[in-house]
């Protein structure tokens, strides 16, 4: 059977029926310059960018003091919409969202999460294996953690799978913790660190939906219950952030590494490739469906934009500027 290679459109109003879409081209800016002085300034700026290999950052308004990225392993957008997920539903309605965001191929956890956190595709970061063991080499590409750390920011990961150690570049993380349990336990460990240390960048990984999908099938009743359990963990996270006032200064991103079909994933089927992408926080538009095609590596660039950290010019990912209020 030939697999569908096209990204698909998922709509909350259309019941997540797929429809092929393409990522729009970036328009070229045109203008007329009236003096050699302006040309000189522009040429100087261009040459400086070539030397530094960075894209200048226009910080979000207002700037965030921290970003929390929640990755729901194996979460399909239509699964989130069908499951009992009142907290996540409230968040996408109060923030900016896409239910047609795309992951990378292969649509498996480690390659996809590496793209999510390095801003580049597997062709560039080189990780296509979905396994990693302690003692093996870590990622060579810069990550959002290493770049944030270079700006003096505090970074942390609380995850459920040991293979995420691949992303723990030496010196890039203040805290790396593996909690091999379900979402209720993971969120409590993440909250303990968030509350005590207040990192500027925190990545939290929930494996419930992926584990259940492999055991009972994607979109099975058990899978939908697993998503409900994750939603309850997100509610605990949000409640603490509200009680401690951290919610006022935090960008919260909820997304996934991949979807799934039957009892597996890893293909280019729309069910495997299409993921949710939700952002809520200071300066983020409310009830805004992102019109552009979101790709998983755009997450990294958006994180750095919100933290006011320079974005590498060579990245495939681009910050989702449209989610910010003018």
**Alpha-carbon gap, residue 259 to 254, rounded angstroms:** 14
In a domain, 130, yes or no: yes
39 occurs within a structural domain: no
Residue 135 in any domain: the answer is: yes
273 in helix, strand or coil?
A: helix
Helices 221-243, 208-216: axis angle to 10 degrees equals: 170
Domain coverage including residue 153 = 66-323
Question: Tell me, what's the pLDDT at 82?
Answer: 98
* Inside any domain, residue 51: no
Tokens 């595709």 -> residue: 121
- Please give the share of the chain, as a percent, with pLDDT higher than 70: 80
In a domain, residue 174? The reply is yes
Peptide bond connecting 238 to the previous residue in cis, omega within 30 degrees of 0: no
Name the nearest CA neighbour of 109 among 75, 136, 152: 75
32: in domain: no
Q: Which of 45, 64, 65 is nearest to 55 (CA)?
A: 45
pLDDT digits 0-9 by tens, 16-25: 434 433 443 2
Give, for all 326 residues of the chain, the pLDDT tens digit.
333 333 333 334 434 434 433 443 233 333 433 443 444 444 444 444 443 444 444 444 444 589 999 999 999 999 999 999 999 999 999 999 999 999 999 999 999 999 999 999 999 999 999 999 999 999 999 999 999 999 999 999 999 999 999 999 999 999 999 999 999 999 999 999 999 999 999 999 999 999 999 999 999 999 999 999 999 999 999 999 999 999 999 999 999 999 999 999 999 999 999 999 999 999 999 999 999 999 999 999 999 999 999 999 999 999 999 999 98
Q: Is 12 inside any structural domain?
A: no
pLDDT at 38: 40
DSSP string for residues in 104-146: -SS-SHHHHHHHHHHSS-HHHH----S---TTS----S--HHH
Which pTM value belongs to this model?
0.83
Name the domain count of the chain: 1
159 within a domain of the structure (yes/no) = yes
One DSSP character per residue, 259-280 reads --BTTB--SSSHHHHEEEEEEE
Q: What is the CATH number of the domain that holds 133?
A: 3.40.720.10
Distance CA 310, CA 3 (A): 38
Return the pLDDT at 2.
35
């Amino acid at each position: 059977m030939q697999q569908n290679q096209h990204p698909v459109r998922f709509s909350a109003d259309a019941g997540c029926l797929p429809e092929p879409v393409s990522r729009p081209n970036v328009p070229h800016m045109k203008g007329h310059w009236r003096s050699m002085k302006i040309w000189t300034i522009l040429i100087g700026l261009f040459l400086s960018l070539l030397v530094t290999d960075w894209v200048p950052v226009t910080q979000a308004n207002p700037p965030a003091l921290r970003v929390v990225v929640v990755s729901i392993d194996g979460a399909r957008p239509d699964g989130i919409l069908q499951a009992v997920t009142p907290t996540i539903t409230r968040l996408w309605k109060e923030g900016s969202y896409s239910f047609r965001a795309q992951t990378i191929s292969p649509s498996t956890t480690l390659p996809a999460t590496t793209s999510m956190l390095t801003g580049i595709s597997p062709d560039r970061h080189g990780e296509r294996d979905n396994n990693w063991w302690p003692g093996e080499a870590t990622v060579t590409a810069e990550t959002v953690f290493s770049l944030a750390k270079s700006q003096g920011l505090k970074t942390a990961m609380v995850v459920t799978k040991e293979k995420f150690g691949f992303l723990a570049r030496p010196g890039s993380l203040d805290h790396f913790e593996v909690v091999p349990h379900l979402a209720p336990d993971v969120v409590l460990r993440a909250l303990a660190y968030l509350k005590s240390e207040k990192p500027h960048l925190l990545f939290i990984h929930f494996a419930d939906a992926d584990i259940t999908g492999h055991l009972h099938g994607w979109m099975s009743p058990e899978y939908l219950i697993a998503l409900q359990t994750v939603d309850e963990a997100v509610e605990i996270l949000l409640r603490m952030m509200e009680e401690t006032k951290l919610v006022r200064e935090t960008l919260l991103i909820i997304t996934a590494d991949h979807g799934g079909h039957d009892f597996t994933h890893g293909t280019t089927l729309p069910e495997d490739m299409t993921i949710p992408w939700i952002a809520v926080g200071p300066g983020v538009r409310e009830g805004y469906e992102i019109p552009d095609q979101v790709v998983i590596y755009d997450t990294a660039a958006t994180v750095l934009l919100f933290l006011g950290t320079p974005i590498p010019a060579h990245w495939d990912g681009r910050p989702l500027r449209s989610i910010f209020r003018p």
